[in-house]
Amino acid sequence: MRNAQARCSWDLPDDAVTPQALYLRRREFLRVFGFGLAATALLPVTARAASAGFPDSLNPSFKLDSVKLTAEDLVTSYNNFYEWGLGKDQPKELSNRGWKTEPWTVEIGGLCANPRKIDVNELIKLVGPIERRNYRHRCVEAWSMVIPWDGFPLTRLVDLAQPKPDTRYVKFTSFFDPANCPAQRGKDLPWPYTEGLTIAEARNELAFLAVGLYGKPLRNQNGAPIRLALPWKYGFKSAKSLMKIEFVAEQPQTTWNLTGPNEYGFYANVNPNVDHPRWSQKSERVIGGGFFSGKQPTLMFNGYEQQVAHLYVGMDLRKNF
Ligand SMILES: Nc1nc2c(c(=O)[nH]1)N[C@H]1C(S)=C(S)[C@@H](COP(=O)(O)O)O[C@H]1N2
Ligand SMILES: [Mo]
């Protein structure tokens, strides 16, 4: 993946070379020196239509009095969205060069009584009202934010779909548009990006589908028009720009688990006691927290133990990482 300056992976700024990206950089290195590099055509520049804010209200159960919200400009400029490049600054730049996230159809299917293909704005009307929740966000790379999402509980979509009794998992698939997304013409990750939850996790009160942040529709770089927000799990579980949600019997294969099975598990619950093979998960760098004050201890289930610990009783969390 290259941007306009044909910047090389070895001269990206420090903060753009992230642990998850290391996996892919090794492969990129092989490609550059082993097989030659094809130029990446840039997308035409088109302006994204401005849209209005949400009539939402803050859910008082998810206010998070004790922590500071991450500034909006950081939430919308420091991103992981590998479809638009491995650097943190690339999604903002490259996902806004003509990629259309409106209109957008979401497919709800699999083992359910009410499968449908539905325009995302129609879906929001069916599952509304939209509420705001301030959620902690902990990336597996050991950095964190606090983000005010606008959206609705995933369980409302589950109710709408009416899964059949043999449903044990929910599979989430991000957009797939290789014609407009250069990275998806390559093999950095198995595209489209897929994720999964158990049906009990999907029904948990914390599992959230975000359609906005800071009271505005999601920006492309944050996963417009609809993405998961699962605050007790590492960020990679919260798949962006969802195109398909399916009810399935078998545990779905997921992008990062396929890419690095020893590093990125299916459950990916935030856990300071289980280190990543290449780094500690005991603490995290708070984005926007300043150079000296930026580190804080990581909490079990990212601070949401009360809401989710019951889902994992009797499970070996070292094995099921
Ligand atoms: N489709 C897709 N979803 C994705 C990713 C991605 O690369 N592609 N990155 C994940 C990771 S690693 C993180 S930390 C969060 C980042 O979300 P944010 O940029 O809105 O903070 O999105 C997750 N969802
Ligand atoms: Mo992440």
CA of 76 to the centre of ligand 1 (A): 12
Which ligand 1 atom minimizes the distance to the CA of 189?
A: 7
CA of 88 to the centre of ligand 2 (A): 11
What are the per-10-residue average pLDDT scores of the chain (321 residues)?
A: 36 56 61 38 30 71 89 98 96 97 97 98 92 97 97 98 98 97 93 98 98 95 98 98 98 97 97 97 93 86 98 96 96
The interaxial angle of helices 154-161 and 120-127, nearest 10 deg, is 100
Nearest CA to ligand 1 atom 24: 239
Q: What pLDDT was estimated at residue 222? A: 98
CA of 242 to the centre of ligand 1 (A): 12
Q: Which residues contact 10 (CB under 8 A, 6 or more apart)?
A: none
> Is the CB of 236 within 6 Å of ligand 1?
yes
Q: What pLDDT was estimated at residue 22? A: 74
Q: What pLDDT was estimated at residue 67? A: 85
> Is the CB of 233 within 6 Å of ligand 1?
no
Nearest CA to ligand 1 atom 21: 79
Residue 61 DSSP label:
G
> Is the CB of 82 within 6 Å of ligand 1?
yes
DSSP SS3 for 268: coil
CA of 228 to the centre of ligand 1 (A): 9
**CATH no. for 14-312:** 3.90.420.10
Q: Would you kindly state where each structural domain of the chain is located, as residue ranges?
A: 14-312
Count other C-beta atoms under 10 Å from residue 60's C-beta. Answer: 6
DSSP SS3 for 51: coil
Mind giving me the DSSP string for 196-208?
A: EEEHHHHHSTT-E
CA distance 62 to 195: 24
Whether 246 contacts 273, CB under 8 Å: no
Q: What pLDDT was estimated at residue 27? A: 52
How far, rounded to the nearest angstrom, does the alpha carbon of residue 98 sit from its chain's CA centroid?
Answer: 21
Nearest CA to ligand 1 atom 5: 81
Q: Retrieve residue 310's tokens.
A: 């019951």
